[in-house]
Amino acid sequence: MQKTWFITGASSGFGKALAEELLKNGHRVIATFRKQIQADSFSASNSELGTGVVLNVNYSDKIHALIHRIITEFGKVDVVVNNAGYGLTGAVEDASDEEVRAQMETNFFGALKVTQEFLPHFRKNKSGLFIQISSQAGMVGVSGLGIYNASKFALEGFSEALSRETSHLGIKVMIVEPGPFRTDWAASSMIFTASETADYSETSGATKQRLQTISGNQPGDTMKGVQLIMEAALSENPPLRLPLGTLAINIIRNKLKQVEADIALWESKSKQTDF
């Protein structure tokens, strides 16, 4: 059954791969790009089912105008994929206000605004699926990725709440948590803090070095990843969280074990704080 998908950040990574796979399977795709030439190329290459549009998710007024136009022009949108984003690497202390706000603006506020703008449309139709492209870093903090962690933790927080607010309306939410895949995330989609404190060379510095050498050698197969995203999205009951890859699953499970251990260690005293 053909569905209409709206995907932000389709110029590379999961956004690009997902758009291509959806088109191959006969779905309609409205994909956003930062540059007009990219949008035009996408539309020309996929004239029957694909439409490229220009959007920078950092500008909320542009989001409102574009989504209003899309709903008017295309009618029902079935699936919204918040994929636009990038990674900021560097110690928490080294991140400038400008770098922090830019990270949050794209990864959190942009996704939030797109979600908010589509919610009335989904409520009217009593159906719809939001796919939030998060990361294993949306569940597990990593030295050197603290600000990126913050943006993805925030994305997952409002998305989890949203799933509880809207399930009775036929609206679903699926948070995708990829581990390291062979996308551009560790290359062109990665930014490093301008400041680097030597005391963090063994923690955040080590993460930076690892990211600089891993690009192109990540264990995750992007095509297999988007195929699973499609399968889960089109299933009767998409999961709230979908970790992608063995590493993501192992890291998240270890986090859950650590949380349980922390709870158990102080549980008896913690319960004594009740009235």
Residue type, 226: V
> If we measure between CA atoms, which residue out of 53, 166, 151 comes closest to residue 111?
151
Q: How large is the C-alpha radius of gyration of the chain? A: 19
CA-nearest of 108, 101, 87 to 187 is 87
Tokens 């191959």 -> residue? 24
Q: What three-state secondary structure class fits 254?
A: helix
Instruction: Please report how many Cα atoms fall inside a 13 Å half-sphere around the Cα of residue 85, on the Cβ side.
Output: 30
As a whole number of angstroms, the distance between CA 118 and CA 128 comes to 9
Active site residue 208: no
Pinpoint the alpha helices (H) of the chain: 13-24, 36-45, 60-74, 97-104, 111-125, 146-166, 204-214, 222-233, 246-271
Annotated active-site residue in 16, 86, 113, 134: 134
Residue 126 designated active-site: no
Give the CA distances from residue 98 to residues 70, 102, 105, 155, in Å, rounded to whole numbers and listed in that order: 32, 6, 10, 19
Tokens 């009618």, located at residue: 75
105 and 65 Cβ atoms separated by less than 8 Å: no
Active-site residue 134, yes or no?
yes
> CA angle at residue 221 from 175 to 218, to 5 degrees?
95
**From 11, 86, 151, 152, the catalytic residue:** 152
Catalytic annotation, pick one of 86, 148, 151, 159: 148
Q: Are strands 28-33 and 50-54 parallel, antiparallel or unpaired?
A: parallel
Residues labelled as active-site residues: 134, 148, 152
